[in-house]
Amino acid sequence: LLLGKAARAREKGVELSFDPACRLDRPFLPLGEQELISIIGNLLYNAIEATQRSPLPHAPVEVLIKLSEQELIIEVAAQGVGIPPAIRERIFERGITTKTRGDHGIGLYLIESYVTQAGGAIEVADNTPRGAIFSLFIPAAGTARQLEDTDYAT
């Protein structure tokens, strides 16, 4: 997936820069393989497209994927066109998109659904000097953060 996305980014004139701390060297149980592929794939697709649409020189899309004992962290930082303030609060709703070419606004909706289902959290921030940073925190199975979100936690 990552090699394919990096090649696609290069075709579009965008560089993916992977943090040296990237590590996903064992299965991650709270999410299935397809959900994880969907999350990472959609985040990278959006970042590449936003960077490509920027009228300013393209800065690399920075990627961190790191698995610890407590959680999986996925962070994608792009210096693309960013998220318009008018839709920022609704960016995870089905059908909401920053694109105008017929995209359907499903990717971020799916990401939010999968992350929420796994008991995780998403943070969206402005990037400097432009663009957006998406940070996902997905707890490992059985961690305190995940148990707090269940009805049977004490």
Distance between CA atoms of residues 95 and 67, nearest Å: 31
Is the pLDDT at 4 greater than 60? The verdict is yes
> Residue 53: inside a domain, yes or no?
yes
Q: What is the CATH number for 16? A: 3.30.565.10
Query: Which SS3 state, helix, strand or coil, does residue 117 take?
Result: helix
> Residue 154: inside a domain, yes or no?
no
Instruction: Give residue-wise pLDDT tens across range 59-113.
Output: 899 999 999 889 999 999 999 999 988 888 999 999 888 777 666 789 999 999 9
Number of other residues whose CB lies within 10 A of the CB of residue 139: 20
> Residue 94: inside a domain, yes or no?
yes
Question: Which residues make Cβ contacts (< 8 Å) with residue 149, sequence separation at least 6?
Answer: 119
φ, ψ of residue 105 in degrees (nearest 5): 70, 40
Partner residues linked to 121 by β-bridges:
137
Task: Give the chain's domain count.
Answer: 1
Number of other residues whose CB lies within 10 A of the CB of residue 58: 17
pLDDT at 39: 96
- Identify the domain containing residue 42 by its residue range: 2-148
